[in-house]
Amino acid sequence: MWNRILLGLLISSLTVHAGPPRVTPMTESAGLEAIPVKGSPGKLRYLARSISAVALSPDGGRLAVGMMDSGGGGIGASSAKFVAVLIWDVTAAKVVSSIPVDGVPSDVFWMADGTLWATESMNSKIRRIDIEKGAVAESRTLRADEHHRIFGWSSRVILSPEGKRAIVAGFDPSPSLYELPDWKLTGPLTDVEGMGPWDGTWSRDGKSWFASTIKPDVLYRWDIATREVKRLGPGIGPVEGPDGRVWAITEDHLAFGPVEPKQEEKREWYRTDDSKFTLARFSPDGAFVALGREDGNVVVVDAASGAWFTAFFHVGIPGKSDAVSCLLWAPDGSWIAAGRVDGSSDLLRPEVPEQK
């Protein structure tokens, strides 16, 4: 009994604060509503069923929130145009634009020139979005294998640190490298065993790309110059740590740590005993790690010690998956944008102490 009381006091001490709200819901303020399903009188479907991605504009003022919809009209089509991308003003803390797209954007991303793009549903198209007009302004078709039916639902466009290159994963068994802004195909990366990869991250120096496959869950590092690939070991969701090493979630999704630990270290640097991890993101200064979980909660952990700093608890919708699908730190580390499979997205403020 005393253990439960002490645990409750610990959680309270970590999460109680003074000042502005810790959590600002984004999609709840978007005015989303249900509309009739075409050909099904009396039935309704909600416009936002799942958050696929969040992306911050180059000027840091706007967040693009991509929405997947499970009530559409089949592969590559929706029964009606729905709000697929929301634009959230960070300073004003409100939705300033909602953009309908006839399709499912599995990813949204900003180019260095400030233009907003989104991938298309179950095909190899990407679309440039005119934010002022709230409509698609341009479409491009990228390299894809027509038999690779996994693409679209899980495709990702990952921009290099300098913004002049992009790796597109999910349209083909092997990721493709492009030169920007002309989307010139440089070529595919070396193929690997397993499904995917369709997500990943660049090294900070832009020389390597890390990603994981499923079935099996294996981590790889690609050398961008030589296209050579190295198998790092089991795991998912790789990120580059502040020490320059690759960190990732373990195969059982219950722990996070360095993929290639030093002799005195453990692979399970931080472990959860209940809900599984879905992804992890280091803060810009490398001092903290935000860990998203299947129950919709986000845990913020001290990067040096692995100690639990704070947690944001999510109350989901009964019968729906609450898994965290995307996490994004603010450039100054003052907030975290989180999106979930249940269609909710929030700005979370961990109020981390200033680094001395």
User: Is 104 a member of any domain?
Assistant: yes
Q: What CATH number does residue 134 fall under?
A: 2.130.10.10
Pick from 4-13, 125-134, 227-236: least confident: 4-13
Q: Is the peptide bond before 105 cis (omega within 30 degrees of 0)?
A: no
pTM: 0.84
Question: Dihedral angle at the C-alpha atoms of 339, 140, 185, 163, nearest 10 degrees?
Answer: -50
The answer to whether position 118 is within a domain reads yes
Closest residue by Cα to residue 330 from 312, 348, 316: 348
Q: Is residue 199 part of a domain?
A: no
- Quote the pLDDT of residue 154: 67
128: containing domain: 19-141
pLDDT (tens digit, 9 = 90+) per residue, 86-99?
Answer: 899 999 998 888 88
What's the token pair of residue 43? Answer: 């039935």
| Overall domain count for the chain | 1
Determine, yes or no, domain membership for 353.
no
> Would you mind telling me the total number of residues written for the chain in this entry?
356
Question: Considering the domain boundaries, does residue 179 fall inside one?
Answer: no
Tell me the pLDDT tens digit for each residue of 125-171.
888 989 888 888 888 988 877 666 555 556 889 999 999 999 998 87
Q: Is residue 47 part of a domain?
A: yes
With respect to residue 84, please indicate whether it lies within any of the assigned structural domains: yes
What is the spatial distance between Cα 16 and Cα 22, in angstroms, rounded to a whole number?
Answer: 9
Inside any domain, residue 297: no
| Beta-carbon-side half-sphere exposure of residue 14 (alpha carbons within 13 Å) | 17
